[in-house]
Structure 1
Amino acid sequence: MSIEVSNESGVDVSEDELISVARFVIAKMDVHPAAELSMVLLDSAAMADLHMRWMDLPGPTDVMSFPMDELEPGGRPDAPEPGPAMLGDIVLCPEFAEQQAAKAGHSLGQELALLTVHGVLHLLGYDHAEPDEEKEMFALQRQLLEEWVAAQVESYHADRQSQKDQRLLDKSRYFDEP
């Protein structure tokens, strides 16, 4: 899976974390593992320009998704064998997201992870224009984000345990010496 991040926003963010959450969601949604995704982070002025150009709405927004192919979870149903595809672009605005994060009482990293999940789901055809669509998409978004966080915590604890085990093994080599 290829995920490229281009940070043109001027805000320092963890690109590794954005890639991690995007990769997790793409895998969980059963998208072909060779799929490609592009993520672009823009400042407020550039995002406002995109927002007006594509949505005819003034001012910046937090996330916009630009699907490349018509995909369903698991790939195109009319394809004989699902193959790699360019999912599209997710455009994030960290400046705007930072304001939302402050209002929600969490970090910019948490907000960007949420917006990344949201953007990937849009690329996969999910929408929230109608109440039933919104309920489905936001429930899935919450579930995926919670599962990703749980996987991050589990990975952290496994890494810590591995480090402890290695220190113990390093010390044990002295037991064999006279």
Structure 2
Amino acid sequence: MSIEISNESGMEVSEEDLLDVARFVIARMDVHPAAELSMVLVDSDTMADLHMRWMDLPGPTDVMSFPMDELEPGGRPDAPEPGPAMLGDIVLCPPFAAEQAEKAGHAVAHELALLTVHGMLHLLGYDHAEPDEEKEMFALQNQLLTEWYEELRLAEEQARLAERDRSLLGKAGFVDTPES
């Protein structure tokens, strides 16, 4: 998996979290693991320019997706064998996301994770122009985000238990522990 992130937004953002959630979606949606993705984080003025240029809508927005290859979960049925491809570009606007997060009463990191999932689904052909499409896309978006958070929680719990075990085994003399 090749994911390039360029933060040109002027805001400090956890690029590692964005990489992690993007990788999670790619794995869950059965996209070839060698697929390529580009993520660019921009300021509000840049996003407003892109929004006007590509959508003919004034002002900034939270996320825009620019698909490259036509990919579908599980690969295309007419393809002889799924292979690596360029998914496309996701453009996020952290300043806009920060405003949305404040209004929604949650952390900016959560908003950016949600927007990353949203952008990834657009790259995979999902849309929300029609009510049925919106229902399907947002349900999948929420499911993926919930599963990602659960995976993070389990990883943190395993790390905590491993540290506890290491400490207990060290106290019992079964493993060497650094002296304090």
TM-score, normalised to structure 1, is 0.96
- Matching of residues 74-153 of structure 1 within 5 Å: 74-153=74-153
Say what the alpha-carbon RMSD is for the aligned residues. 1.1
Moved over 3 A (4+): none
Report the Cα distance in structure 1 between the residues aligned to 2:159 and 2:53, rounded to whole angstroms.
45
Gaps of 5+ in 2: 176-180
Q: Percent identity among equivalent residues?
A: 75
User: How far does residue 170 in structure 1 lie from its aligned partner after superposition?
Assistant: 1.9
Tell me the alpha carbon deviations over residues 142-174 of structure 1, each in whole angstroms, 9 at most, x when there is no partner.
000000011110111111111111112222227
Gaps of 5+ in 1: none
Would you say how many aligned residue pairs link Structure 1 and Structure 2?
A: 175
Aligned partner of 2:39: which letter? M
Tell me the alpha carbon deviations over residues 94-142 of structure 1, each in whole angstroms, 9 at most, x when there is no partner.
0000000001000000000000000000000000000000000000000
Tell me the alpha carbon deviations over residues 57-86 of structure 1, each in whole angstroms, 9 at most, x when there is no partner.
111000000001011111222110000011
Q: Would you say 1:57 and 2:53 are equivalent positions? A: no
Quick one: structure 1 residues 162 and 134, their matched pair in 2 at CA, closer, same or farther if it must change by over 3 Å?
Answer: same
Deviates more, 1:69-78 or 1:20-29: 69-78
Residue 31 of structure 2: aligned partner: 31
Report the Cα distance in structure 2 between the residues aligned to 1:107 and 1:50, rounded to whole angstroms.
25
SS at structure 1 position matched to 2:133 = helix
